[in-house]
Amino acid sequence: MAVSDDATAEILYTSGTTGKPKGCVLTHRSVIMAAITGALAVKMDEYDRLLMAMPIWHSSPLNNWFLGACYVGATTVLLREYHPLHFLQAVQDERCTLYFGAPISYLLALQMIPNFDDFDLSSMRAWIYGGGPIAPETVRMLQARYKSDRFYQVYGMTEAGPTGTVLPPRAHATKAGSIGNKGLPGADLIVMKSETEEAGPGETGEIWLKADSMMQGYLDDPEATRQVFCDGWYRTGDMARIDEDGYLYIVDRLKDMIVTGGENVYSKEVEDALVEHPHVAQVAVIGTPHPDWGETVTAIVVPAPGAEPSPEGLSRFLQDRLARYKIPRIYHFVDALPHTPTGKVMKYKLREMF
């Protein structure tokens, strides 16, 4: 039986970092274009061995990498679930060449495996990460510890198949922390200051995206679909700054921006500053209601092993790094942050908790 390219192939749900997950209706055309995009992004071929440790029911692990490997005839080594030790053992024993994972998956292997340096990871030619950019200092640390300069940052979302941008290894030397400067094959993007005006170098705006792998819409939700499309462009909700060379740096999710006393605070900027403190392992910054200021900048901190950071000490640390109104007024210390299966922090749950 013939199947149309525009027939539904998948209904994949968004990660739900800002609320209830939505079902994205992806066609056969969407899926095959996402697979081709993944294969092209890292020059995949039949000799590659892809390690799959991220949940295969999520869009990028499934469509970009697993199906990308199938498209070129590569081998896939499939783990039941991610575990730092099993991850390292699989790379070593199976001589894997490609891996895609959330930034946290790279860090957990360093934090939890004391003999990390004993593993032979020399077969790897592409370390791919997505779900959030890594700070430049962290990238340099990972390159040193993983003994590789072959790191790829990929950016996209379930709605786009996902297809978006890539920061290749050669650009990491000067542009680490960026998501790249142009769309992948089959994708175009612009950064909009408003509904009608594009942002320029040094300015911040919302990323709008077009892609051959774009969803048809949200399942049974035409109103939500209408809200995220404008003249064929998908409004990602991601705020990005453009540098002088046209590279994009995510500054926040539009929904995560904090407005305190009339000032806009990008939570990611505060998180990037706090995570540089040696006593901080992970951090998420949210706005909590305030009767006078509208919102208060609030940091939820996971201390580094054996560390006992104090609110006063963290605030002093930030004094030379951030404007005064961006420094958190409230700190909460927790054992762990709530994450989606792909490693993204679920900030809506933190807002419910605090």
Fold of the CATH domain 8-252: Rossmann fold (3.40.50)
Where residue 133 falls among pLDDT bands split at 50, 70, 90?
low
Write down the CATH number for the domain with range 257-353: 3.30.300.30
* pLDDT at residue 344 in the model: 81
Residues of the chain with CATH 3.40.50.12780: 8-252
* pLDDT at residue 262 in the model: 85
Where residue 348 falls among pLDDT bands split at 50, 70, 90?
confident
* pLDDT at residue 102 in the model: 87
Give the number of other CB atoms < 10 A from CB of residue 62: 22
Residues 6+ apart with CB under 8 A from 128: 42, 65, 98, 99, 100, 101, 151, 152, 154
pLDDT above 80: residue 15 = no
For 262-278, the pLDDT digits (tens) are: 888 999 999 999 999 99
List Cα–Cα distances, 88 to 75, 79, 80, 126, 169, in angstroms. Answer: 18, 11, 14, 15, 21
Return the percentage of the chain with pLDDT > 90, whole number: 80
Where residue 14 falls among pLDDT bands split at 50, 70, 90?
confident
For 62-109, the pLDDT digits (tens) are: 999 999 999 999 999 999 999 999 999 999 999 999 999 988 899 999
List Cα–Cα distances, 2 to 10, 89, 168, 277, 345, in angstroms. Answer: 17, 43, 38, 58, 42
For 269-324, the pLDDT digits (tens) are: 999 999 999 999 999 999 999 887 889 999 999 999 999 999 999 999 999 999 99
* pLDDT at residue 124 in the model: 99
* pLDDT at residue 19 in the model: 65
pTM here is 0.83
Residues of the chain with CATH 3.30.300.30: 257-353
Mean pLDDT of the region 29-42: 97
Q: 203 with 184: CB under 8 angstroms?
A: no
Query: Alpha-carbon distance 16 to 124, whole Å?
Result: 31
